[in-house]
Amino acid sequence: MFICQGFGATAATEKLGPFSFERRDTGPTDVRIDIRYCGVCHSDLHQARNEWHNTIDPCVPGHEIVGQVAEVGDKVTRFAVGDLVGVGCMVDSCRECASCKQGLEQYCEVGFVGTYNGPDKHSGGMTFGGYSRAVVVDEAFVLKVPKNLDLAAVAPLLCAGITTYSPLRHWKVGPGQRVGIVGLGGLGHMGVKFARAFGAEVVLFTTSASKVDDGLRLGAHKVVLSRDPDAMAKEVGSFDFILDAVAAQHDINEYLGLLKTDGTLVQVGAPEEPLPVAVFSLIMKRRNFAGSLIGGIAETQEMLDFCGEHNITSDIEMIRMDEIETAYARMLRSDVKYRFVIDMETLAS
């Protein structure tokens, strides 16, 4: 065991602050990573505040981790000291169920081990995440980071990136298709970049007129203000696929109505309350309404390699570790372009 410095919450009602804890020593198949940057995901805030009612304190959030390999176990074959690597939302799974065998560890039938607040197989306690100096992870859940990309801007790919890449790939979005992305935040801005890179015609839907220029800059062919009924009416029945990244309550039926026959709307934003679906909006054109959770390890690696080849990263705002509470407050107001990333050098020693 070694003592690892981190930043976490000791209770749902407490602000995050410096918190030291024990991590396991590097086992035979483990990689010990010195963390350089960690992205800030909405889930971090939900978990730290116990808004999903499953947090076991203390909680050290962070599952958009990038850094450098500091030590490898003697059975590690894919990594060497000094490699640039990433860790996303999972650090383990059962590895034996049908989902795991298909490379869909995120749908592990036993449940994957979350990078934080997950049941740690080694310590018997809970896992601690990336708001910390270092992390020890089995090599099967460590990803290689392309060297040509800005490392800090790679961090959000590990959650926001794969969450949008995976459904766009699964539903085979590509040339000749009209694709809608709903919401321009951490997820949505990656959805726009990937859908464009896959060759689709991309339309961004946003409530905010101030995001029109950014939407076009990020790769959308067209931006529609979703609060303009006339503009929305023009889009009815014209989409092959829609990726909905909005985590707030909104009228999903309005977007289902934009799909062509057999079109699919995939929800990746997660509103706290149920979204009422008018079944007729599905029945009349055999439309599909689906969900999707991050991506498997192999697909996450494929996504990082794709980003390396196409020079895709997240648009980020770098913060110091002690600015995290301000960052959370701004994130709640959607006042971030488009992901906060913590410079882990600023974790006070």
Residues forming the site for Zn ion (CB under 5 A):
41, 43, 93-94, 97, 100, 108, 159
As measured in angstroms, the least distance from the Cβ of 300 to Zn ion is 12
Per the structure block, which two tokens stand in for 85? 């690597």
Return the number of the residue (129 or 215) whose C-beta is nearest Zn ion: 129
As measured in angstroms, the least distance from the Cβ of 69 to Zn ion is 23
As measured in angstroms, the least distance from the Cβ of 160 to Zn ion is 7
As measured in angstroms, the least distance from the Cβ of 44 to Zn ion is 7
Return the number of the residue (41 or 137) whose C-beta is nearest Zn ion: 41
β-partners of residue 67 are 35, 85
Residue in 124, 140, 159, 121 with CA at minimum distance from that of residue 270? 159
DSSP state string for 68-122: EEEEE-TT--S--TT-EEEE-SEEE--S-SHHHHTT-GGG-SS--EESSSSB-TT
Per the structure block, which two tokens stand in for 241? 């696929």
Residue in 123, 15, 154, 31 with CA at minimum distance from that of residue 83? 31
Return the number of the residue (100 or 181) whose C-beta is nearest Zn ion: 100
As measured in angstroms, the least distance from the Cβ of 111 to Zn ion is 8
β-partners of residue 133 are none
Return the number of the residue (97 or 232) whose C-beta is nearest Zn ion: 97
As measured in angstroms, the least distance from the Cβ of 212 to Zn ion is 27
As measured in angstroms, the least distance from the Cβ of 159 to Zn ion is 3
Return the number of the residue (100 or 242) whose C-beta is nearest Zn ion: 100
Return the number of the residue (60 or 224) whose C-beta is nearest Zn ion: 60
**Rg, Å, the chain Cα set:** 20
Residue 9 per-residue DSSP state: B
Question: Which residues, in sequence order, are CB contacts of 27 under 8 Å at separation 6+?
Answer: 73, 122, 136, 138
Return the number of the residue (159 or 223) whose C-beta is nearest Zn ion: 159
Per the structure block, which two tokens stand in for 233? 């009416």
